Amino acid sequence: MAAAPGALGAWQAGRARLVAACCARLGPGSRLPDSLMGRQVGPAMWARGWAPAAGGAAPRRGYSSEVKTEDELRVRYLEEENRGIVVLGINRAYAKNSFSKNLIKMLSKAVDALKSDKKVRTIIVRSEVPGIFCAGADLKERVKMNSSEVGPFVSKIRAVINEIANLPVPTIAAIDGLALGGGLELALACDIRVAASSAKMGLVETKLAIIPGGGGTQRLPRAIGMSLAKELIFSARVLDGQEAKAVGLVSHVLEQNQEGDAAYRKALDLAREFLPQVDLVTGLAIEEACYAQTIPTKDRLEGLLAFKEKRPPRYKGE
């Protein structure tokens, strides 16, 4: 027990070095304040499902350094020409949108509702906080956890990210700011990623003597290839939007606008393109038809037999 304070002090010092390194990598122009003060947007604005009018200036959003826990995730069902688009907006400005127990609980609840809602056609995951997408795990909350709590909590984060990856409709991550660790893992779970050129993203866990725990070791190689993924994870390198586009990590990169929501606007344009295409009911019918084709195959029967006999399957492509 006597060694515990010293270990905690070493951990805090290491964390301070990590923060300093990240700030240095982001550059002085991208330094993020500890608090973002401003007027909160009234509930009526969110209820209307605001989206910028084509060709018009978007209203500026206000932010507070403190929000109620129930406001940390805003679920907006857009209306009119955007009907069918749902926006999941993370809103923890005071904690740089980091994953807390409460936020993960809210994400899980929201995703659970969305996956069974047949009116939902496309989902956009974004930040309601300027300059930040998601900074990963809430380390201030994490340091208060017992060792026995950490594993189950990381498993919960992984499970929620998997739930987002398995949603039955297209998902788009709008990365208008910092996406580190679990924040990038959240974006990787989406079908499409759009970023502002000023965004910063990377899996930086190795600087904390850990590895990505929310699916990053699996989804990053699938997105950009094994060799480059290893390089980025081993080095904990942070990429900007242009670099992320060059390696195939994001599909589109845009210069940031005055409102700080260039990636979100592009994501909204893409979502509008998707609306007239295959809806969930039709998509499920296609899935059913495709699954039916696998039923009479020898490989399906071999897979079942191998499972029953607890051995590796011997597939023959039949």
Residues taking part in catalysis: 137, 182, 185, 205
Tokens linked to 135 = 């900074």
Encode the chain in three state secondary structure: CCCHHHHHHHHHHHHHHHHHHHHHHHCHHHCCCCCCCCCCCCHHHHHCCCCCCCCCCCCCCCCCCCCCHHHCEEEEECCHHHCCEEEEEECCHHHCCCECHHHHHHHHHHHHHHCCCCCCCEEEEEECCCCEEECCECHHHHCCCCHHHHHHHHHHHHHHHHHHHCCCCCEEEEECCEEECHHHHHHHCCCEEEEECCCEEECCHHHHCCCCCCCHHHHHHHHHCHHHHHHHHHHCCCEEHHHHHHCCCCCEEECCCCCCCHHHHHHHHHHHHHCCCCCHHHHHHHHHHHHHHHCCCHHHHHHHHHHHHCCCCCCCCC
Cβ(61)–Cβ(257) below 8 Å: no
Report which of 193, 194, 214, 210 is spatially closest to residue 18, judged by C-alpha positions: 210
| Residue from 192, 188, 157, 155 nearest 269 by CA | 192
The count of residues in the chain is 318
